[in-house]
């Protein structure tokens, strides 16, 4: 989150996250898989939710660090992003439970 670094007057370094690379690779495996379209849709939602859960953990941790540092501005920005990630996860769950998972069953 570039705005948090700018607010703190720090240059953000970009690094590749091996865990996220692995999660994306898993999703790509599903994209290239053959099989029942409904099952593949369910698998894609599961892969997307793994990414969301990883992001939720990362933003939650960063928000808590900002709170501990007394940086309410950064904490609020990170909280907003955290809530967006949670909402996306919730929407994926709703889609899966309402239509995709029953169709895949």
Confirm if 57 and 19 have CB atoms less than 8 A apart. no
CA distances from 15 to 12, 71, 74, 101 (A): 10, 24, 20, 35
Its pTM stands at 0.89
Q: Mean pLDDT in runs of 10 for the chain (105 residues)? A: 86 91 96 95 97 97 97 96 98 97 94
pLDDT confidence of residue 1: 77
CA dihedral 48, 49, 54, 60 (to 10 degrees): 130
- For the chain, list the domains and their CATH numbers: 18-104 (1.20.1260.10)
pLDDT confidence of residue 57: 98
Q: Sign of torsion, CA 96 99 102 105?
A: negative
Burial class, 59, CB count within 10 angstroms (exposed 0-12 / middle 13-18 / buried 19+): buried
Alpha-carbon gap, residue 9 to 93, rounded angstroms = 38
pLDDT confidence of residue 5: 87
């Amino acid at each position: 989150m570039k705005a948090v670094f700018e607010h703190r007057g720090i240059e953000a370094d970009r690094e590749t996250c091996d865990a996220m690379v692995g999660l994306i690779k898993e999703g790509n495996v599903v994209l290239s898989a053959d099989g029942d379209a409904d099952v593949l849709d369910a698998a894609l939602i599961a892969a997307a939710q793994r990414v969301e859960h990883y992001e939720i953990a990362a933003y939650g941790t960063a928000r808590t660090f900002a709170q501990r540092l007394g940086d309410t501005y950064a904490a609020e920005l990170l909280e907003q992003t955290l809530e967006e990630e949670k909402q996306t996860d919730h929407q994926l769950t709703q889609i899966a439970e309402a239509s995709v998972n029953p169709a895949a069953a």
